[in-house]
Amino acid sequence: MSRARIRPGTIALWVVFIAVHAVVAWFGWVLPSQPMGDVVLVYQPWSHSALSGGAIMGITESWVYPQLALIPMVIAYLLSLPLVGAMGSLGAYLIAWAVLVTALDLVGFAVLVGRGRTHRRRIAGWFWCGALLLLGPIAMYRLDAVTVPLAIIGGLWLATRPAVGTALLTVGAWIKIWPAALVLAAIIAVKQRIRVLLTAAAVTAGIIVVLFLLGADSALFGFLGQQTGRGLQIEAVAATPFLWMAASGQASIAYSQEILTFQIGAPGAAVVSTLLTPLMALVVIAVAVFGAVKAARGATWQRLFPPLALTLVTLLIVTNKVGSPQFQTWLFAPIILWLVLDRARAVTPALLVLGLCALTFLVYPLTYDALLRAEPLPVLLLTVRNILLVVLAVVGIGAVLRVPAAGRNR
């Protein structure tokens, strides 16, 4: 019976996890720069339109997100309906969104930590608490928050339930694209790679068929065109030099009504933006090839998958023409999986990610208004954050290259 009891430290961990969600949710209401803006300004109207006979994003209209992104938005809308009379539609939707994200995270935390029988999983749980708190409200009040628990559960189940784990990751990729990097890492590193590949293909095919039957013909892959057509967002890593130009009056910062982001206007910015998409493809392919070579030489999935997944996800951020602060949530799942599978080698990357979360919080929402004016302090903070992202990518690449072949796994 004693083995079934929950350790006191695990109870404390669960309490902290719930408390962190409450604090971070509250931050959204009191901090500057409207950290909950996307939730009420775009998610709620999109949901209302879909449920009231208006445009259905991704079906009748091309959309910046994959089509399954509408599902959590609509769920939050339905959850908000009983609260509308007391709080108004926008306040009710914010509460419902926070409740939805917290509920999904609790499911992910239950799969990760459970009764806390293993030390590695408890450490990973503490990391998740710290990362959420350090990143602040953007960790909850964006669509990306929905994909984090899906990625964590899917990654944890790759070894024991590869089909279910892959299905969850694939669904996550149809909400926000980034979990596809974990699917790619799994196809390379996991022994059941054929099953992973076939499952991802089957789930994707099923989703496409359903969307096509719903009428999403011309808008089916509209999210890909929307991404490639973006300008260079001010928080992107590649925008860093242009931000310093803006600080000295040689570049401008303007809001794009079409993409709903602040972008850089400067000589050469459009060229850089155009080059980033092929650069992203090249670096992802290169790292995937390195990973495939390691796998072919017999590297174990416990050693190869975590650094490969982290590197691929980090490169998606570093080479992205968008640098939205919520992108840091993409790093949670690879680090948590690395802590569970190979904790000793995950410490340095985990600390780097915690630093990235803290720096991102300092920029958004705390100094974001000043960043839009290109003031030196937030530009410096963002510069350090972006340099740290590059460092994390280099650390990840080095970890992949150091993964030993079969017979030398120490």
Residue 297, pLDDT score: 94
Ranges in the chain, pLDDT < 50: 1-2, 409-410
Residue 224, pLDDT score: 81
| Residue that the structure tokens 């879909």 belong to | 50
- Reported as type and span, the H/E element at residue 261 is strand 261-265
Residue 385, pLDDT score: 98
pLDDT digits (tens, 9 = 90+) for 299-330: 999 999 999 999 999 999 999 999 999 999 99
Q: What are the angstrom distances between the C-alpha of 52 and each of 22, 46, 47, 176? A: 32, 10, 9, 24
Q: Are 129 and 16 in contact (CB under 8 A)?
A: yes
Closest residue by Cα to residue 307 from 282, 328, 287: 287
pLDDT digits (tens, 9 = 90+) for 329-382: 999 999 999 999 999 999 999 999 999 999 999 999 999 999 999 999 999 999
Residue 116, pLDDT score: 75
Q: Kindly report the number of other CB atoms within 10 A of residue 159's CB atom.
A: 16
How far, in Å, CA of 273 to CA of 49, rounded? 32
How far, in Å, CA of 215 to CA of 210, rounded? 9
Residue 9, pLDDT score: 84
Q: Which residues contact 76 (CB under 8 A, 6 or more apart)?
A: 43, 44, 47, 93, 96, 97, 100
Residue 112, pLDDT score: 97
| Cross-strand bridge partners of residue 61 | 57
Q: Are 135 and 27 in contact (CB under 8 A)?
A: no
Residue 257, pLDDT score: 73
Q: What is the CA 10 to chain-centroid distance, rounded?
A: 26
Tokens of 122: 């408890």
Residue 222, pLDDT score: 82
Residue 230, pLDDT score: 75
Q: Are 275 and 358 in contact (CB under 8 A)?
A: no
How far, in Å, CA of 337 to CA of 345, rounded? 12
- Burial (CB count <10 Å: 0-12, 13-18, 19+), residue 49: middle
Residue 200, pLDDT score: 98
Residue 2, pLDDT score: 42
Residue 331, pLDDT score: 98
- SS3 label, residue 229: coil
Query: What number of CA atoms fall less than 13 Å from residue 188's CA on the CB side?
Result: 29
